Chain A
């Protein structure tokens, strides 16, 4: 063989394989094609197989988030406390948006804690794939693991926040009721919705990276549209009021309120809306994300 000569036809075939096409050699020896999009069922079972990976990754990421400071994990508690204090000062003492709310402190705390979870989930979820290109580029694994682990990370971070919330609730004058037992349900629905939304956003951002720059603006708008620091029904009514009340952010914030506050009436409409949003978003998001499985990692 000399330089410049085209490669001879064998391409590394053994004598027994000469004359057969490469695809035929691969198939007859049971080789699997790399990349491409697996069937939905196979994809799901591959995800289940790597559940330990998701769990360890999420826990590690949640732990690493606060590890680069002196107070370290104490920030998991300090963060929601300080955040709550700031909002209380602004909306409880200065702007006074407590119209129609009896226990405004409890109302506001639930609002901002839950909103912050949603905001972080969607912001981090939108970058789930693009921020982990190092991992994507070196290992082969179902890419859906990334949005799943991002949202799980946020859920882990939410747990101490919820603990803080439950400690603060009786202090603000809320009685402990059986409805507290429904809290995991509300958080669970919210978590499923977040995962679905992260699937959708993660793929959108892979297709058009610039969309990641728009997410913060949407979040800012949602902060004001979701009844975080005011009661939607006390300020709006009619069609607009219904739209605002049944968009997912408001639904999940209100659902958590019904669990821990006596003045928030649990209604079957609200729980249904929470469940529908969760299941719908998760299914649509998962399929949407899976359909582009072959694209992640290109460039």
Chain B
């Protein structure tokens, strides 16, 4: 610290140099923050925890709607001393009381018992809004600086600097509600550090900025430390803790678990996190012989419509006591295995028409017995929707005996609008197909015996009748489709 003292005094760029220009060398090593056996609990409105409640279900429901107030005991007896120039990281899993402790040091949350002592201005920088959303950035800067205890003339001096640092351009005239989260975070950071606090507390705020902003923030943190300020940093990024801090506190469920050099404490913390994850993995009911069967807790199922040419895709469902690592499949038609259908997907064929399809899944994992579960059966497999004609067959209209009428096959597609509801939309979407067509010539609507070729020569038998052609299209997987041409005029001799 002593070497840095000289540079500190000649750092005019430092925003709001300490008002009484205290010598950094004097301060180094003197306590700046004492946390003495602090307990913190706070009330929350709008919901309460149900665990441990002996009330019946309906009464607990009422408890959520009326009198929904609960008390959270977030910090349970934490003590430590911080000295000028120290940079302290606070780590711990979510809900361990880190942010609550910072709020108390900032004076925002009263302690329940114990005491916190500070020297100088403590400024808390959080991700959540400290400022007033419907006011412009400009007003927020002025208000923030004044609230931190700056004099109006100092505010004017810092104003440009804050705007520059936050790098928000002319957004400064817009209300803060129009800011992106990154802009808001930058502006808050700039304001919080403008007053050159003696204790700067940062709650995950650096995570929101881009790389350039992180670099600038790091510079500003270093400046504060050089001026013998103290930085308290809450972060889940062990890298940023390692880079910034020379001491780390580990909070676990509101209790201080460790306090020491960063590498030691971080290693211990990560080790415990790993142990916890491992414990969760193996904390399953394995019988003494180690041969627990996997049970299906949510049965397998499949997606896709049950009709010919449709592709069904299986889903594994969920398994207990632990997720399986491999699965085998067997598709069933009316409960009987479909030969060869052992993949996760199946494409239905004509052979399954009328059968109910289901999927049997066998789950396995090392150390467990295989478990088997079968999905609900589907509705019976249907044919594709009938073929529909998309281009009417036509006739040459010169009906005299001896004239040869040329038939036409028409054009065909699978399914029509009326079939689209039940079947897979893709299958009945009018995809053109080339079915096998059969012809039948008709006289006054009655089939003419033997007249089943594509063309037909009129004979005396047809004189006085009106001739038409019926085309029948057939295709595997689909119901047949028929189309009849318009009738000719009466056949003349």
**B83 CB to closest chain A CB, in angstroms?**
7
Our pick among A7, A31, A136, A294 for the contact of B34 (Cβ within 8 Å) is: A31
Q: A23-B36, A26-B36, A134-B128 are in contact. Are A140 and B268 (CB under 8 A)?
A: no
Contact (Cβ within 8 A) A7 B257: yes
Report chain A residues within 8 Å CB of B35: 22
Q: Are B130 and A138 in contact, with the CB atoms below 8 A?
A: yes
Complex contacts, B80 vs chain A, CB 8 Å: 11-12
* Pair B124/A138 contact, Cβ less than 8 Å: yes
B83 touches A139 (CB 8 A): no
Q: Per-residue CB proximity of A38-75 to B under 8 Å, as 1/0? A: 00000000000110110011001100100110000000
Is A2 an interface residue, CB under 8 A from the partner?
Answer: yes
Interface 9-mer from B1-9, B111-119, B451-459, B470-478: B111-119
B110 touches A25 (CB 8 A): no
CB within 8 Å for A7 and B259 given contacts A31-B34, A35-B116:
yes
**Nearest Cβ distance between residue B260 and chain A, in whole angstroms?**
5
Per the bound structure, the CA–CA distance linking A33 and B146 in Å amounts to: 22
Q: Closest CB of chain B to A293's CB: distance in Å?
A: 9
> Is A137 among interface residues, defined by CB-CB distance under 8 A?
yes
- Which residue in chain B gives the minimum CB-CB distance to A22? B36
Chain B, interface residues (CB within 8 Å), range: 35 or more
Complex Cα gap A197–B129 (Å): 29
From B36, B118, B247, B264, A32 is in contact (CB under 8 Å) with B118
Q: How far is the CB of B467 from chain A (nearest CB, A)?
A: 77
In the assembled complex, B189 has its CB within 8 A of some CB on chain A: no
B81 within 8 A of A: yes
Chain A residues with Cβ under 8 A from B116's Cβ? 33-35
Instruction: Tell me, in angstroms, the Cα distance from A14 to B119 when the chains sit together.
Output: 17
How far apart are the CA atoms of A64 and B259 in the complex, in Å?
Answer: 47
Do the beta carbons of A138 and B126 come within 8 Å of each other?
Answer: yes
Nearest Cβ distance between residue A49 and chain B, in whole angstroms? 7
Selected from B30, B31, B106, B111, the residue in CB contact (under 8 A) with A140 is: B106
Chain A CB within 8 A of B142 CB: yes
> Smallest Cβ distance from A153 to chain B, in angstroms?
12
A34 pairs with B119, CB closer than 8 A? no
**Given that A4-B257, A13-B81 are contacting pairs, would A26 and B31 also be in contact in the complex, using a CB cutoff of 8 Å?**
yes
Does B122 reach chain A (CB closer than 8 Å)? Answer: yes
Contact B43 A299 (CB under 8 A): yes
CA distance A141 to B106 in the complex (A): 10
Residue A238 lies at the interface, judged by CB distance under 8 Å to chain B: no
Residues of A close to B148: CB separation below 8 A = 139
Judged by a CB distance under 8 angstroms, whether A3 is at the interface is yes
Q: Once the chains bind, are B31 and A23 in contact (CB under 8 Å)? A: no
Of the residues B79, B109, B259, B268, contact of A297 by C-beta under 8 Å: B109
Interface residues of A in 100-158 (CB under 8 A from B): 134-141
A35-B258 contact given A2-B268, A299-B43, CB 8 Å threshold: no
Select from chain A the residue with minimum beta-carbon distance to B118: A34
A60/B258 in contact, CB under 8 A: no
- Most chain B CB within 10 A, of A13, A14, A50, A138, is at A138
CB interface residues, B 19-58, toward A, < 8 Å: 29-37, 42-45
Of A2, A12, A140, A299, which is in contact with the most chain B CB atoms at under 10 Å from its CB? Answer: A12
Question: Which residues in chain A, 264-299, are within 8 Å of chain B measured between CB atoms?
Answer: 294-299
CA A298 to CA B142, docked complex, whole Å: 26
Contacts of A64 in B (CB 8 A): 132, 134-135, 175
B211 touches A (CB below 8 Å):
no
Flag if B34 contacts A25 (CB, 8 Å): yes
Interface membership of A79, Cβ < 8 A: no
- Given known contacts A3-B257, A31-B118, A68-B134, A294 and B31 CB-to-CB distance under 8 angstroms: no
Interface contacts (Cβ under 8 Å), in number, total 167
Q: Is residue A29 contacting chain B, with contact meaning CB distance below 8 A?
A: yes
Shortest Cβ distance from A50 into B: residue: B146
Pick the most buried of B147, B149, B265, B275: most chain A CB atoms within 10 A of its CB: B147
Does B107 belong to the interface (CB within 8 Å)? yes
Q: How far, in angstroms, from A33 to B110 measured CA to CA in the complex?
A: 11
Tell me the smallest distance from the CB of B98 to a CB of chain A, in Å: 15
A137 near B259 (CB under 8 angstroms)? no
Residues of A near B106 (CB, < 8 A) are 34, 138-140
Q: Give the residue of A3, A49, A137 whose beta carbon is less than 8 angstroms from that of B103.
A: A137
Quote the shortest CB–CB distance from A3 to chain B (angstroms). 4
Contacts of B143 in A (CB 8 A): 53, 56-57, 60
- Point out the residue from B29, B44, B128, B142 that lies within 8 Å of A299, measured CB to CB: B44
Q: Does any Cβ of B come within 8 Å of A167's Cβ?
A: no
A209 contacts the other chain (CB 8 A): yes
Q: Once the chains bind, are A139 and B134 in contact (CB under 8 Å)? A: no
Interface residues of B in 75-132 (CB under 8 A from A): 79-83, 103-111, 115-119, 122, 124, 126, 128-132
Task: Contact check, B146 vs A56: say whether CB atoms are below 8 A apart.
Answer: yes
A105 CA to B117 CA in the complex, in Å?
60
Residues of A close to B105: CB separation below 8 A: 34
Q: Give Cα A39–Cα B106 distance, bound, in whole angstroms.
A: 20
Contacts of A136 in B (CB 8 A): 108
Is B271's beta carbon under 8 Å from chain A? yes
Residue of A nearest to B275 (CB): A3
- Given contacts A140-B122, A209-B45, is CB(A12)–CB(B81) below 8 Å? yes
A30 at the interface (CB under 8 A from B): yes
Q: Tell me the smallest distance from the CB of B265 to a CB of chain A, in Å.
A: 7
CB distance A3 to B272 under 8 Å?
Answer: yes
CB proximity of A119 to chain B, nearest CB, Å = 22
Give the docked Cα–Cα distance between A5 and B257 (Å): 7
| Complex contact B259–A11 (CB within 8 A) | yes
Contact call B122/A34, Cβ cutoff below 8 A: yes
User: A1 near B: Cβ within 8 Å?
Assistant: yes
Give the distance to chain A from B480, nearest Cβ to Cβ, in Å.
Answer: 68
**Residues of chain A within 8 A of B44, CB atoms compared:** 299
4 nearest CB pairs, A to B: A299-B43, A140-B107, A138-B130, A26-B117
Given A35-B110, A53-B146, 16 further pairs, Cβ under 8 A: A2-B268, A3-B269, A22-B35, A25-B81, A33-B116, A34-B105, A34-B117, A52-B151, A56-B142, A64-B134, A67-B175, A134-B131, A138-B124, A209-B45, A294-B110, A297-B108
20 A-B contacts, Cβ less than 8 Å apart? A3-B271, A14-B29, A17-B81, A30-B119, A31-B34, A32-B117, A33-B115, A34-B105, A34-B107, A36-B110, A52-B146, A56-B139, A56-B142, A56-B143, A57-B143, A67-B134, A134-B131, A135-B132, A138-B128, A140-B108
